[in-house]
């Protein structure tokens, strides 16, 4: 009986050979940060092993890492597709970016980006909802549609995206795809400014009747434009 249990244990150990226990998503993201920021080969190799084991977060993080490498963009597309199909909203967003933005190795295809942005937005990715709003507003890859644009910008704003709040303030001010609502437009502009969006701060500075507040707002807009240029 003891020999039988020993054999079972040995077979179980052999079956697990070559597979490491999956870290938590936060641990995988920390590993990816080390690989990206320090150029650490050991961290990247571990990410590769975890992705090969089917770890969705590792597939996403490795795909994001490979997006920055022209020679690896086909691998980035494959990995992000795997993660997005497994339900990872962040991977869906980056897959949309891969299709929408000009990049060597991947054909520019805004229309192909749309469904992945939509998956990402429905999964809570504010920047994906923002891009859907911009694409519908400008007719980029999809028919121009002000009402559709307003709907996605509204979602992005609800998810906390200050750029979307700023754009939506114009939508309500001009009545583009929605009924005109100057009060709603003003509230959205203030909300975008509270989120430190430089263009909103600047517009408030130019329209307020309070000279002291205008000076503070313009100074704040300049500082955030310089220090947070890639935040939004």
pLDDT tens figures, 44-85: 999 999 999 999 999 999 999 999 999 999 999 999 999 999
User: Which among 14-18, 78-82, 197-201 has the top mean pLDDT?
Assistant: 78-82
Full DSSP string of 46-113: HHHHHHHTT-HHHHHHHHHHHHT-GGGHHHHHHHHHHHHHTT-HHHHHHHHHHHHS-BTTB---HHHH
Range 195-203 average pLDDT: 89
pTM for this model (two decimals): 0.83
| Residue 5, pLDDT above cutoff 60 | no
When mean pLDDT is compared across 60-64, 70-74, 130-134, 145-149, the lowest value belongs to 70-74
For 225, the token pair is: 């434009």
Average pLDDT of the chain is 88
Range 12-26 average pLDDT: 65
Buried b (16+ CB within 10 A) or exposed e, 3-23: eeeeeeeeeeeeeeeeeeeeb
The span from the CA of 31 to the CA of 192, in Å, is 34
């Amino acid at each position: 009986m003891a020999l039988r249990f020993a054999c079972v244990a040995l077979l179980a150990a052999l079956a697990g050979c070559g597979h490491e226990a999956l870290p938590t998503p936060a641990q995988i993201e920390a590993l990816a940060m080390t690989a990206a920021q320090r150029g650490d080969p050991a961290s990247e190799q571990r990410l590769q092993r975890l992705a090969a084991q089917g770890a969705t977060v590792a597939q996403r993080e490795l795909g994001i890492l490979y997006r920055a490498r022209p020679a690896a963009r086909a691998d980035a597309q494959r990995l992000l597709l795997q993660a997005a199909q497994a339900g990872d909203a962040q991977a869906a967003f980056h897959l949309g970016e891969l299709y929408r933005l000009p990049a060597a190795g991947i054909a520019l295809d805004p229309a192909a980006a749309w469904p992945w942005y939509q998956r990402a937005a429905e999964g809570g990715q504010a920047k994906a909802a923002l891009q859907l709003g911009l694409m519908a507003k400008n007719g980029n890859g999809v028919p121009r549609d002000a009402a559709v644009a307003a709907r996605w910008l509204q979602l992005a704003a609800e998810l906390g995206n200050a750029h979307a709040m700023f754009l939506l303030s114009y939508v309500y001010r001009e009545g583009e795809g929605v009924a005109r609502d100057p009060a709603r437009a003003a509230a959205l502009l203030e909300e975008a400014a509270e989120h430190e969006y430089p263009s909103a701060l600047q517009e408030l500075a130019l329209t307020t009747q309070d000279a002291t507040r205008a000076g503070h707002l313009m100074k704040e807009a300049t500082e955030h434009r310089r220090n947070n240029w890639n935040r939004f």
